[in-house]
């Protein structure tokens, strides 16, 4: 970590190390700072859910780029550098600029790091000439800081919802015991035009119930638009359109994300040709990312597949397996590390009998990790063949004699992002 990065980390964590949900603190500071939340009349898109938030944003922004629209977006978490959290027309904020903006809230003892970053993003975009602003929610929705700076978005996207962040959903002050409560927190507050991605049937019923108070248009996957798969080909379909989708992204779930962005773009009167151009080639780091060169491949054979995916919950790991099953490489292995706000049992369950072996290692530069020995214990409970290792290099040495192998690294965006930063 550079000196500037350490300085930024210090600004973020000044007298504050815990996550605290609620809008009271941040709304008060926004008022004190005199922030205008209209942002020169730019259209605003907010995105909330459990999985696929970043993927759908990346797809949508790619379409905007091809349509020559100016955009700014905020993401969480970052993979390699904290500057990735603020993006303007394909470029991340510079460290120096981020440091200057964060200084405005550095002495705010009552704000959490995420709240400081959220306010900083509002400062970052306030003087930019923008057509669109895209805000990715953090933990939940109703009490998320993003809602404070974007109280009245033009559109809202609800991505697939499931259990996640188990330690943060079950505290003395904020105890979410059921999926029903999770869905309520993520959807009940929405009053804008809303696009709902593909959901489990139970979740979909809950979403519909929670959106009854929303008088604006509600567009549902399956009812108003959908993905059609014929053989190995994918098609977008709604009542007025039917066309083939071509993209470099892999996995059925990625195409389910693509059709959400397509529907929004069509409603914005973006041409089908511009949409097709925008989805043809999309770079989404650490989302079923093929690593074809770099230090991470040292010790692997040319025909070996190396995949990075920041999946960290059951919904995501289930999707991974659907994609992994399609790869022809017979020798499939997996490397996993996780943080302690996740549920390793539900995450690992879809991996049973899908890999020759799973290796667990400890994440670097992270204090809140699940020890590799604990992950091994969970794997044993699931009758998954597993082993602990010191690091990724040790694993590559162990697997050197296996030809035509597929090696998946997953379990945490922090984990795969850290490895990607070394590549």
> Does 318 share its domain with 200?
no
Q: For position 9, what pLDDT does the model report?
A: 63
Q: pLDDT by residue (tens digit) across 37-49?
A: 788 889 999 999 9
What CATH number does residue 197 fall under? Answer: 3.40.1190.10
Q: Domain range spanning residue 354?
A: 289-421
Cis peptide before 46 (omega within 30 of 0): no
The last residue of one of the domains, among 280, 314, 343, is: 280
> Does 378 share its domain with 395?
yes
Q: C-alpha distances in angstroms, 201 versus 101, 161, 190, 197, 207?
A: 43, 11, 20, 12, 10
> Does 307 share its domain with 257?
no
pLDDT above 50: residue 15: no
Q: pLDDT by residue (tens digit) across 45-62?
A: 999 998 899 999 999 999
Number of other CB atoms surrounding residue 82 within 10 Å: 21
The last residue of one of the domains, among 224, 245, 280, is: 280
DSSP at 178 = S
Q: pLDDT by residue (tens digit) across 265-274?
A: 999 999 999 9
Torsional sign, CA 311, 317, 319, 321: positive
CB 158 within 8 A of CB 195: yes
> Does 308 share its domain with 268?
no
CA 314 to chain centre: 14
Helix axes 179-187, 201-210, angle to 10 degrees: 50
> Does 239 share its domain with 142?
yes
Q: pLDDT by residue (tens digit) across 136-180?
A: 998 778 989 999 999 999 999 999 998 755 555 554 455 566 888
Q: For position 124, what pLDDT does the model report?
A: 95
What CATH number does residue 321 fall under? Answer: 3.90.190.20
pLDDT bracket for residue 197 (50, 70, 90): very high
CB 259 within 8 A of CB 46: no
> Does 115 share its domain with 210?
yes
> Does 215 share its domain with 338?
no
Q: pLDDT by residue (tens digit) across 76-92?
A: 888 888 899 999 999 99
Helix axes 3-12, 95-102, angle to 10 degrees: 30
What total number of domains does the chain contain? 2
3-state helix, strand, coil in the chain (%, to 5): 40, 20, 45
Q: Is 55 helix (H, G, I), strand (E, B) or coil?
A: helix
> Does 272 share its domain with 305?
no
Show Cβ contacts of residue 31 under 8 Å, excluding neighbours closer than 6 positions.
none
Q: Is 354 helix (H, G, I), strand (E, B) or coil?
A: coil
Mean pLDDT of 277-283: 94
Q: For position 17, what pLDDT does the model report?
A: 43
pLDDT above 50: residue 2: yes
E-strand ranges in 80-130 read 86-88, 91-92
HSE-CB of 48 using CA atoms within 13 angstroms = 27
> Does 184 share its domain with 244?
yes
Q: For position 200, what pLDDT does the model report?
A: 93
CB 52 within 8 A of CB 141: no
> Does 276 share its domain with 294?
no
CB 271 within 8 A of CB 285: no
Mean pLDDT of 251-259: 94
Instruction: Calculate the average pLDDT of the chain.
Output: 90
Instruction: With CA atoms as reference, report the closest residue to 134 among 114, 154, 161, 105.
Output: 154
The last residue of one of the domains, among 244, 259, 280, is: 280
Cα distance between residue 42 and residue 253, in whole Å = 30
> Does 92 share its domain with 239?
yes
> Does 140 share its domain with 242?
yes
Q: pLDDT by residue (tens digit) across 213-240?
A: 999 999 999 999 999 999 889 999 999 9
């Amino acid at each position: 970590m550079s000196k500037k990065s350490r300085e930024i980390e210090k600004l973020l964590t000044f007298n504050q190390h815990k996550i605290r949900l609620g809008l009271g603190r941040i709304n008060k500071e926004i008022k004190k700072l005199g922030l205008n939340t209209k942002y020169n009349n730019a259209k605003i898109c907010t995105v909330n859910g459990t999985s696929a938030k970043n993927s759908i944003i990346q797809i949508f922004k790619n379409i905007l780029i091809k349509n020559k629209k100016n955009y700014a977006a905020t993401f969480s978490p970052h993979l390699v550098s904290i500057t990735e959290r603020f993006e303007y027309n394909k470029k991340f904020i510079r460290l120096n600029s981020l440091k200057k903006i964060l200084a405005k809230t550095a002495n705010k003892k009552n704000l959490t790091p995420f709240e400081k970053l959220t306010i900083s993003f509002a400062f970052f975009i306030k003087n930019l000439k923008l057509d669109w602003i895209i805000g990715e929610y953090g933990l939940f929705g109703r009490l998320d800081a993003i809602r404070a700076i974007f109280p009245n978005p033009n559109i809202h996207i609800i991505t697939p919802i499931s259990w996640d962040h188990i330690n943060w959903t079950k505290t003395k002050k904020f105890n979410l015991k059921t999926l029903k409560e999770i869905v309520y927190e993520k959807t009940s507050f929405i009053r804008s035009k809303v696009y709902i991605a593909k959901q489990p049937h139970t979740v979909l019923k809950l979403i519909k119930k929670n959106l009854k108070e929303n008088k604006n248009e509600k567009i549902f996957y399956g009812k108003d638009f959908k993905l059609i798969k014929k053989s190995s080909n994918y098609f977008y379909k709604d009542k007025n359109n039917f066309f083939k989708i071509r993209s470099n992204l892999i996995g059925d779930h990625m195409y389910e994300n693509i059709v959400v962005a397509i529907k929004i773009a069509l409603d914005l009167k973006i041409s089908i040709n511009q949409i097709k151009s925008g989805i043809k080639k999309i770079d989404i780091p650490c989302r079923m990312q093929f690593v074809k060169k770099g230090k991470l491949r040292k010790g692997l054979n040319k025909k070996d597949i190396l995949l990075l995916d920041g999946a960290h919950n059951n919904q995501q790991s289930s999707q991974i397996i659907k994609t992994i099953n399609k790869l022809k490489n017979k020798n499939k292995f997996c490397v996993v590390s996780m943080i302690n706000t996740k549920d390793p049992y539900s995450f690992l369950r879809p991996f049973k009998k899908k890999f020759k072996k799973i290796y667990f290692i400890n994440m670097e530069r992270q204090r809140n990790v699940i020890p590799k020995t604990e992950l091994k214990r969970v794997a044993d409970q699931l009758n998954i063949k597993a082993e602990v290792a010191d690091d990724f290099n040790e694993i590559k040495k162990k697997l050197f004699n296996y030809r035509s192998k597929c090696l998946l690294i997953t379990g945490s965006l922090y984990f795969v992002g850290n490895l990607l930063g070394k590549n």
